Structure 1
Amino acid sequence: MSTTAQAPPAGFRPAALLRSPFFHVVLALVLGAVVGEVWPASAETFQQVANGFLKLIKMVISPLVFCVVVTGIAKAGDLKAVGRIGLKALIRFEAVTTAALVFGLLVGNLVQPGAGFAGGHPVLDEGAVDAKTADNHLPGVTGFFLDIIPTSAVGAFAENKLLQVLLLAVLCGAAIVHVGRERAPLVLNLVDQAAEVIFKIVGYVMKLAPVAAFASAAYLIGQYGLQALSSYGKLIAACYGSALLFVLVLAVLLKVLTGLSLWRFLVYARAEFTLAVATASSESVLPRIMQKLRGAGCPESTTGLVLPTGYSFNLDGASIYLSIALLFMAQAVGVDLTLGQQAVAVLVLVLTSKGMAGIPGSAFLALSATVTALHVVPVGAVALLLAADRLMDTMRVVTNLLGNCVATFVVARWEGVLDADAARAAFLGKTPAADPAVDAAGTPAEPETALTS
């Protein structure tokens, strides 16, 4: 009888798993949760650590988006295609976010998350909402579109206004196309090389991702613990359940329209999604998700235009939350909204949700504007959501990010520029022979088959 030990299953490499960014972030999350539970007084300190990581990422987002969009447009050389991509993206964003709002209302009416609210009826303190929103306000439709135009080119980068940077990038890329690449080779080469340098900086920053995940988990558990689950359990279940159903719909749409698997994409980008969950911010992974989408067959021109625009126009998870939260407030204070009032609420939320990106407490501002327009729910009822809002971050972040990634694939397919074979190869961890297997951090890319086979 042979005594030779059996080899591990094909494709499973423990050493590769231990080296993977995904494993590091998950381990950091677990350790952070333990520290937060045992040492809750440290929550504020850990929050500062997590905020420091987010600031490092945000400092490179604007120049990176500018460089990627400029080079994508200049290399494509087709301004009509750029216009089509932008228009198709906006149409898709509007249709899906409106559907998400309506879907949230449907779930809220069926589940009744605010009926018999376990937390009772606390004093409706509008001042608490003002403190949460830091006296900010939503810009309104006209103000939102005017705010896309920067006061100065430098100001767009200094204030980290992503849509303003995107507008400058589109104009700059269009100008290079009109002037001619042969007449402006130095400009195009400079922007292209700057993008490589910025991606390398992103790689340096991403080495701190496990630290940020640890700090974020410690802050969340230390600050909130699990006590909020008892009072807001029904609301949390409604939001997360509806988000899961919505993601399943996105998976079907992606399969039907592109032939690609959303599950395979999630496995391919698992490290980025885990970090987004850990930091409660989709901005923290924008540079890496752009790299992953480009590696999965989406060209620079599509990725550079659709993904950053979606961060402002395509907030599917936030839309679901806003609808359910509105019904939760009304039900908690004993107000029965009619179908007409709910239709008005959808129209208001369609407008207010577009100006939410980058504004502290934007969900509370949007909800405040909506209940003000309805005239039947006390504005102070928004304060009922203060204790539960942070618990919704995972749902919002993952659904927002998935919606934007699916939109990028779909728009690329509509334009006929999606390389589906490259996407399937990337999902399986098979990189093209001519392309070195190096990720954005400048380290050997982890073999995706290690966890999928």
Structure 2
Amino acid sequence: MAVATETDSSPRPRRIYHSLFFQVIVAVILGVLIGHLWPTVGEALRPLGDGFIRLIKMLIAPLIFCVIVTGIAKVGDLGSVGRIGVKALVYFQVVTAFALFYGMVVANLFKPGVGFEVDPADLDTGALEEVTQGGELPGVAQFFLDVIPESVVGAFAENSLLQVLFFAVFVALALSKLGERGKPVLDLIERFTDVIFVCIGWIMRVAPIGAFGAMAFVIGAYGLSSLSSFGMLIIACYSAAVIFLFALAVIARVLAGVNLWKFLRYTKEEFALAIGAASSEAVMPRIMQKLTNAGCSKATTGLVVPTGYSFNLDGAAIYLPIAALFLAQAFGADLSVADQLMMVLILLLTSKGMAGVPGSAFLALSATATALGAFPAAGVALLLGADRLMDTMRVSINLLGNCVATFVIARWEGQLDMERMRAVLDGREPPAREEDEEEPVEAEVSEAPNETAGALAGAGDTDKGTTGDTAPPTER
């Protein structure tokens, strides 16, 4: 009897088709096939992808609020919060500038627009206005002013992450100031965090359906024929992304001691889902939980990740100069080195206001075209056919760039548990820590038989896992 009991209680081998990673990959492949073979059907499946994104988005603002409040309130150090914020912004600025300059170099090497010979009169500017919704990027002063919410309710209702973050920091510092009197409120917020993670676990069960619908729509609406029309542009962007991936690996190893390849294995489900849904926003809660599980403090994760969605779009930073030079070359404009450096400077400023603005990449490129005067701003419409094909590159690099940034800032602040990080990335049982003991609901979820719920909890399962202002897939 004892032997039988031991056998029954031993963990059963997990079948591959139970893996979220496998399910999402299969869903993406099916989406590509449906969109290619039956484009009309593919376009009709768009609500599946949009519905999944909405389910995730409805939980992002409360999740960010809870994570930031609990993380900062426990630290109780205003100076630490300020240091994290300043270091994060400096890091974002340096890496973004490097990505923009790097994209410029790649565009000069590949020359993706040479031979296009475009006539501006043939461009459909109406389609461009539909994508951008007639909007414009905010100025620097307006951008920072918009961080302060006019209404707390409005900040949550509009999913404005920077505004939610701003309010959460105030609440966290107030709870720290109250000490024991604020503990009941802090305990309530921690329990509400557990509730959010359970809800996310349920939502992630339908993630493959969302990825299927999103991919079917993209292929059905834009078709695989765009690959041949914009072949050199696509090759330039994806080649740049692959090389930049190695640059991020070096940054992660040197500045944080993190093996990026092990981290990618650890987060393979999140990256597969983000690529399939064409939005890193879809996996923001899971990524935050996995970063925390891998040793980053809640305070650092809660501050760096949401801020990075506005200030650290590395994938978009690589794409923008390549796209701008593609347009210049397509219209026969010869930009000098000085013009190109001015272009990088303009993009460095305009790219900071991209998050949450529909078609913001097109707006940034239009502003750059107007400032340089090298090609008509309406020429940006030429990219409409290729833009969605760049989502995989932008989404993956944007997401990975923010993960690396979180590790780096946590290491600089002494808030990265190196022993736990190594154990988690190696697939070993991580050492217990005080945070885990204080979150019984989260630990309970991780032991549940449902794989996705376990992934969200991240207390003991190191192969899966975890915990956005809304921007369109272009910027995500």
TM-score over 0.5 (shorter chain): yes
DSSP-derived class of the 2:45 partner: helix
- Paired residue for 1:388? 386
Q: For the residues of structure 1 that align with 2:13 and 2:212, how far apart are their CA atoms? A: 22
- Paired residue for 1:6? none
CA gap 1:120/1:202 in 2 versus in 1, 3 angstroms: same
Q: TM-score, normalised by structure 1?
A: 0.93
Deviation of the 1:34 alpha carbon? 1.8
CA gap 1:14/1:327 in 2 versus in 1, 3 angstroms: farther
- What's the RMSD between the two structures over aligned residues? 1.9
Indicate if the aligned counterparts of 1:200 and 1:441 stay in contact, CA closer than 8 A: no
- Paired residue for 1:7? none
Q: Per-residue CA shift, 1:82-132, capped at 9, x if unaligned?
A: 110010000000000011000000111111010012888771343331111
Tell which deviates more after alignment, 428-437 or 220-229. 428-437
Q: For the residues of structure 1 that align with 2:27 and 2:208, how far apart are their CA atoms? A: 5
Is 2:76 the partner of 1:77? yes
Instruction: Find the partner of 2:278 among 274, 277, 280.
Output: 280
Deviation of the 1:211 alpha carbon? 0.4
Is 2:239 the partner of 1:228? no
Is 2:320 the partner of 1:309? no
- Paired residue for 2:453? 442
Q: For the residues of structure 1 that align with 2:194 and 2:341, how far apart are their CA atoms? A: 47
Deviation of the 1:208 alpha carbon? 0.8
Deviation of the 1:225 alpha carbon? 2.2
CA gap 1:62/1:183 in 2 versus in 1, 3 angstroms: same
Q: For the residues of structure 2 that align with 1:121 and 1:387, how far apart are their CA atoms? A: 15
Q: For the residues of structure 2 that align with 1:448 and 1:295, how far apart are their CA atoms? A: 8
Tell which deviates more after alignment, 275-284 or 116-125. 116-125
CA gap 1:320/1:23 in 2 versus in 1, 3 angstroms: same
CA gap 1:223/1:297 in 2 versus in 1, 3 angstroms: same
Q: For the residues of structure 1 that align with 2:104 and 2:257, how far apart are their CA atoms? A: 30
Q: For the residues of structure 2 that align with 1:115 and 1:438, how far apart are their CA atoms? A: 57
Please tell me the residue identity of whatever aligns with 2:114.
A
Q: For the residues of structure 2 that align with 1:143 and 1:209, how far apart are their CA atoms? A: 36
Please tell me the residue identity of whatever aligns with 2:386.
A
Relative contact order higher in (CA < 8 Å, ≥ 6 apart): 1
Please tell me the residue identity of whatever aligns with 1:178.
K
DSSP-derived class of the 2:334 partner: coil
Tell which deviates more after alignment, 202-211 or 338-347. 338-347
- Paired residue for 2:168? 169
Q: For the residues of structure 2 that align with 1:170 and 1:289, how far apart are their CA atoms? A: 21
CA gap 1:27/1:240 in 2 versus in 1, 3 angstroms: same
CA gap 1:80/1:16 in 2 versus in 1, 3 angstroms: farther
CA gap 1:334/1:296 in 2 versus in 1, 3 angstroms: same
- Paired residue for 2:123? 124
Deviation of the 1:449 alpha carbon? 6.8
Indicate if the aligned counterparts of 2:70 and 2:186 stay in contact, CA closer than 8 A: yes
Please tell me the residue identity of whatever aligns with 1:140.
G
Deviation of the 1:432 alpha carbon? 3.2
Please tell me the residue identity of whatever aligns with 1:295.
N
Deviation of the 1:204 alpha carbon? 1.0
Q: For the residues of structure 1 that align with 2:47 and 2:17, how far apart are their CA atoms? A: 28
Deviation of the 1:18 alpha carbon? 2.4
CA gap 1:447/1:170 in 2 versus in 1, 3 angstroms: closer
DSSP-derived class of the 1:293 partner: helix
Q: For the residues of structure 2 that align with 1:120 and 1:111, how far apart are their CA atoms? A: 22
Please tell me the residue identity of whatever aligns with 1:393.
D
Is 2:296 the partner of 1:298? yes
Deviation of the 1:43 alpha carbon? 2.3
Q: For the residues of structure 1 that align with 2:26 and 2:119, how far apart are their CA atoms? A: 37
DSSP-derived class of the 2:453 partner: coil
DSSP-derived class of the 2:343 partner: helix
Is 2:13 the partner of 1:21? no
Deviation of the 1:15 alpha carbon? 3.5
Q: Per-residue CA shift, 1:369-388, capped at 9, x if unaligned?
A: 11111122111110110000
Is 2:134 the partner of 1:135? yes
Q: For the residues of structure 2 that align with 1:433 and 1:415, how far apart are their CA atoms? A: 21
Indicate if the aligned counterparts of 2:249 and 2:259 stay in contact, CA closer than 8 A: yes
Is 2:433 the partner of 1:422? no
- Paired residue for 2:4? none
Q: For the residues of structure 1 that align with 2:15 and 2:426, how far apart are their CA atoms? A: 15
Indicate if the aligned counterparts of 2:20 and 2:452 stay in contact, CA closer than 8 A: no
Q: Per-residue CA shift, 1:23-52, capped at 9, x if unaligned?
A: 111111112222222221112221111001
Q: For the residues of structure 2 that align with 1:415 and 1:303, how far apart are their CA atoms? A: 12
- Paired residue for 1:8? none
Where in structure 2 are there 5+ consecutive unaligned residues?
1-11, 437-442, 465-476
Please tell me the residue identity of whatever aligns with 1:293.
L
Indicate if the aligned counterparts of 1:25 and 1:209 stay in contact, CA closer than 8 A: yes
- Paired residue for 1:343? 341
- Paired residue for 1:154? 153
Q: For the residues of structure 2 that align with 1:144 and 1:168, how far apart are their CA atoms? A: 16
Tell which deviates more after alignment, 390-399 or 34-43. 34-43
Indicate if the aligned counterparts of 2:100 and 2:318 stay in contact, CA closer than 8 A: yes
Q: For the residues of structure 1 that align with 2:388 and 2:260, how far apart are their CA atoms? A: 26
Tell which deviates more after alignment, 13-22 or 89-98. 13-22
Instruction: Find the partner of 1:187 among 185, 193, 198.
Output: 185
Deviation of the 1:338 alpha carbon? 1.1
Q: For the residues of structure 1 that align with 2:117 and 2:224, how far apart are their CA atoms? A: 15
Q: How does 1:256-271 map to 2 (within 5 A)?
A: 256-271=254-269
Identical residues among aligned pairs (%): 56
Indicate if the aligned counterparts of 2:118 and 2:331 stay in contact, CA closer than 8 A: no
Q: How many residues align?
A: 437
DSSP-derived class of the 2:385 partner: coil
Deviation of the 1:258 alpha carbon? 2.0
Q: For the residues of structure 1 that align with 2:187 and 2:118, how far apart are their CA atoms? A: 59
Q: For the residues of structure 2 that align with 1:206 and 1:353, how far apart are their CA atoms? A: 31
